[in-house]
Structure 1
Amino acid sequence: MTADTHIAAVGTYSAATDESVHTVAVDPHTGAMRQLDAVAAGPDPTFVTFGPSGEYLYVAVREEGEGVIRSYAVDRDTGELTERDSAPSGAAAPCYCSVDKTGRCLLVAHYAGGAVSMLSLDADSGVGSPVETIDHRGSSVDSDRQTAPHPHSITLGPEDRFAYVPDLGTDQLHTYVIECDEPSLSRVEAVDLSPGSGPRHLSFAPGGERAYLINELDSTVTVLNRESDGTLTERASVSTLPAEFEGDNKTAEIAVHPSGKYVYGSNRGLDSIATFEVDGEEIEQVDQTATGGEWPRHFAIAPDGALLFAENRHTDDIVAFDVDSQTGGLTPTGESLSVSEPVCMQWLPDRS
């Protein structure tokens, strides 16, 4: 492995016995990808996240009934994964997990389980049973998708004091205080969003003063200001679709470019990445780029911001794009990797 090669982990939809969590080597100059290792983590390990040191990978697995979090040791030189531990996730159908900067707390959102949880981690990748599991309550206006709570992600704020949970089923964005010394998770507030919007994922701008929330059901992005006490205030909203689009669409992932100048969101149906330019408290849609496949449930921006990788679930591929630093525009590099139903891609942290 060369010094400038990036390693990423990929989660997928898969059967319990399939090789379903992959490590991938990525050339940061060309976007070329090659598989390093793959393990059978269980049914539908759809979300993965590294601990802050990069020594361990944590995987949210949708076992029947209560979900499971599995941990793997990561060989930085070869990408090899070695299973280390597992524990119940706290509720059914975990769909997202995140680890705080100290590597002591793991937070989980459960879509079908309607709950969030906190698990303790030890220095050797040990995963403890949930120390907190908090049920969400309520519903909203969509009779197909919003008859019950559906927490879809749990994102740590810039200072690791607060965690933010978009709930697709209730059209709310919840704020939690987290404590990892004596582990606890406490709800602070819930911001009510536009009925039928279906909030899904959240991404913070560099510095953390602004957040961008992608809404699955109405294909919009909400811009929010973050106050010093961790609370969020809605400032603007914009569509992820071109004005002429007609048809069904569901958004999925959102990410801010490392420069803070651009925001990207994925459209499933239109099968594109929408590019937005940041202008103060507002964003303007400036481009739509076809992902080269179907149903981009996730995408990942390279750590230096030079490349973007779209995970096309329905066409079983990851497609690489160059990012124009002057305009934010995306151009296919011609590189892709075949992976069965890829739905999450996360970068191995740099050594520190």
Structure 2
Amino acid sequence: MSETDLTRRGFLRSSGLGVMGMYLGNFKPGWLAVPTEYFLYVGTYTSAGGEGIALCRLTMATGALQKVAVTRNVSEPSFLALDHKGRYLYAVNELGSFQGRPSGAVSAFAVNPTTRALTLINQQASLGGAPCFVSVDGNDKFVMVANYSGGNVAVFPIRSDGGLGAPTDTKQFQGSGPHPNQGSPHAHQIQVDAANQYALAADLGTDRVMIYRFDATLGKLNASSQTSFSTKPGAGPRHFAFHPGQRFVFVINELNSTITSLAYDPAQGTLTEVQTVSTLPAGYTGTSYCAEVRVSPDGKFLYGSNRGHNSIVVFAIDSLGKLTLVQHASTQGQWPRDFILDPTGTYLLVANQQSNNIVSLKRDAVTGRLTTTGLSLALTAPTSLLVAPSSV
């Protein structure tokens, strides 16, 4: 890649990264055959010293992590996604300028079925600056991108070779919010529901979760009966996760360190607030900002990351979607930008961006609680974690 004017959208600079498919790459059930190890793709900020997209091994017996390969010459691959069959990987290139345009890019890679090595197929301009999220629709026909500084989302068709075609749709958000980081729209995630019928998009800049009826044939984001859900002013919705049963959506709010539980009607595509809770311990007065949110495979527990407090907050989820605090677990590092659960839910792996390490925490499936394994992998500026396919 020969792009210039790389712009790493670090949160500190601007102020003064679902369901299983979101963090497991939408795997087929046949891939979850209890192997002794899993492999992970790790996105990094190359402007901060990251090498590109790393491939790492997780040993299930101990939780140990090992770097085994790197796909280099990839600029700012800050978020990653796989198609459902694991044949292709998509990475946003979180740039401020691409091919002479005020835009980032999205890159398509072929996955080697034996080595899991990545080969670049092609790239497309993301149609907005600093793209920070990428996802694949339920039919493996379209890729969706959220552009942070561009304040918009875009849809790209997937070609027969896994490459990306010209965009089929884009939606530009409008407005602002009361927080200093909300002077303009900041799209941070776009994801379809399990039925591939509706797409939700989080706009950190305007305190809204947009709702679109998704045309899975043409790749269009059409108007829905409920156009959006509004969080508390200044909350800054960043990411969201669908409950495995599709009855709830959990939104993590970056700017006021809260999680909002929403009842979701998959037939109508509507969101109704159930509860909003703090992600921080009572009495905490330090600076902290939320990043990622995940639901356990059994749908019983919710996890969220606190950058600053440097913790994973754990909640139990009841049948009504209400959350009860279980624990705050240290991430054993600084600025937990992303984390995932392995396919069995045995380990929670945390990418600590500022301390340049990935840490494994052991998870109790009954209580949801996390304990440290004492194991850590040194890796510069990790930003996104994605489980690689066991086979293709």
Q: How does the TM-score come out when normalised to structure 1?
A: 0.95
Identify the residue that residue 302 of structure 1 maps to in structure 2: 342
Q: Which SS does the other structure have where 2:167 is aligned?
A: strand
- Partners of 2:71 and 2:51 lie apart in 1 by 5
What does the per-residue CA deviation read over 1:21-59, in whole Å, with 9 as the maximum and x for residues that have no partner?
Answer: 111121223222222321235432100111111111101
- Partners of 2:49 and 2:380 lie apart in 1 by 14
Q: What letter corresponds to residue 384 of structure 2 in structure 1? A: C
Residue identity over aligned pairs, in percent, reads 35
- Partners of 2:73 and 2:323 lie apart in 1 by 39
Identify the residue that residue 32 of structure 1 maps to in structure 2: 64
- Partners of 1:15 and 1:192 lie apart in 2 by 34
What does the per-residue CA deviation read over 1:85-108, in whole Å, with 9 as the maximum and x for residues that have no partner?
Answer: 111112111100000122110001
Residue of 303, 309, 320 corresponding to 2:360: 320
Identify the residue that residue 186 of structure 2 maps to in structure 1: 150
Residue of 94, 97, 100 corresponding to 1:62: 94
User: Bigger shift: 73-82 or 102-111?
Assistant: 73-82
Q: Cα gap change, 1:211/1:54 in structure 2, threshold over 3 Å: closer, same or farther?
A: same
Identify the residue that residue 113 of structure 1 maps to in structure 2: 150
Q: Which SS does the other structure have where 1:15 is aligned?
A: helix
- Partners of 1:291 and 1:167 lie apart in 2 by 27
Higher relative contact order (CA 8 A, sep 6+): 2
1:215 aligns with 2:215: no
Length, aligned pairs only: 350
What does the per-residue CA deviation read over 1:179-212, in whole Å, with 9 as the maximum and x for residues that have no partner?
Answer: 2322212242111110010000000111111111
What does the per-residue CA deviation read over 1:236-259, in whole Å, with 9 as the maximum and x for residues that have no partner?
Answer: 010000102111110000000011
- Partners of 2:264 and 2:119 lie apart in 1 by 39
- Offset of 1:8 from its aligned partner? 1.4
Residue of 133, 140, 143 corresponding to 1:103: 140
- Partners of 1:24 and 1:187 lie apart in 2 by 41
1:184 aligns with 2:220: yes
Residue of 319, 339, 343 corresponding to 2:379: 339
Q: Cα gap change, 1:18/1:216 in structure 2, threshold over 3 Å: closer, same or farther?
A: closer
1:129 aligns with 2:161: no
Identify the residue that residue 159 of structure 1 maps to in structure 2: 195
User: Bigger shift: 72-81 or 258-267?
Assistant: 72-81
Alpha-carbon contact 1:152-1:200 (below 8 Å) kept: yes
Alpha-carbon contact 2:207-2:231 (below 8 Å) kept: yes
1:169 aligns with 2:201: no
- Partners of 2:228 and 2:243 lie apart in 1 by 21
User: Bigger shift: 79-88 or 315-324?
Assistant: 79-88
Alpha-carbon contact 2:347-2:360 (below 8 Å) kept: yes
- Partners of 1:270 and 1:17 lie apart in 2 by 24
- Offset of 1:3 from its aligned partner? 4.9
What does the per-residue CA deviation read over 1:255-306, in whole Å, with 9 as the maximum and x for residues that have no partner?
Answer: 0001111000000110000000112331011100110000001101111111
Q: Cα gap change, 1:97/1:41 in structure 2, threshold over 3 Å: closer, same or farther?
A: farther
Counting only pairs closer than 5 Å after superposition, residues 192-341 of structure 1 correspond to structure 2 as: 192-227=230-265, 228-279=267-318, 280-341=320-381
- Extract structure 1 runs of 4+ deviating beyond 6 A: none
Structure 2: gaps of 5 or more residues: 1-33
- When you count helix as a share of all residues, which structure comes out higher? 2
Structure 1: gaps of 5 or more residues: none
- Partners of 1:164 and 1:35 lie apart in 2 by 34
Q: What letter corresponds to residue 271 of structure 2 in structure 1? A: L
- Offset of 1:5 from its aligned partner? 2.3
Q: What letter corresponds to residue 198 of structure 1 in structure 2? A: G
- Partners of 2:376 and 2:77 lie apart in 1 by 22
Alpha-carbon contact 1:50-1:57 (below 8 Å) kept: yes
Q: Which SS does the other structure have where 1:194 is aligned?
A: coil
Residue of 14, 34, 38 corresponding to 2:46: 14
- Partners of 2:38 and 2:276 lie apart in 1 by 34
Alpha-carbon contact 2:138-2:194 (below 8 Å) kept: no
User: Bigger shift: 72-81 or 227-236?
Assistant: 72-81
- Offset of 1:19 from its aligned partner? 2.4
Q: What letter corresponds to residue 207 of structure 1 in structure 2? A: G
- Partners of 1:28 and 1:162 lie apart in 2 by 36
What does the per-residue CA deviation read over 1:123-160, in whole Å, with 9 as the maximum and x for residues that have no partner?
Answer: 31111121111100011111x11111111111221211
Alpha-carbon contact 1:12-1:21 (below 8 Å) kept: yes
Q: Which SS does the other structure have where 1:66 is aligned?
A: coil
- Offset of 1:351 from its aligned partner? 4.9
Q: How does the TM-score come out when normalised to structure 2?
A: 0.86
What does the per-residue CA deviation read over 1:293-340, in whole Å, with 9 as the maximum and x for residues that have no partner?
Answer: 000011011111111001000010000011001110101112221111
User: Bigger shift: 260-269 or 120-129?
Assistant: 120-129
What does the per-residue CA deviation read over 1:72-92, in whole Å, with 9 as the maximum and x for residues that have no partner?
Answer: 111243221111111111211
- Partners of 1:17 and 1:340 lie apart in 2 by 6
Alpha-carbon contact 1:269-1:295 (below 8 Å) kept: yes
Alpha-carbon contact 2:337-2:383 (below 8 Å) kept: yes
- Partners of 1:66 and 1:216 lie apart in 2 by 24
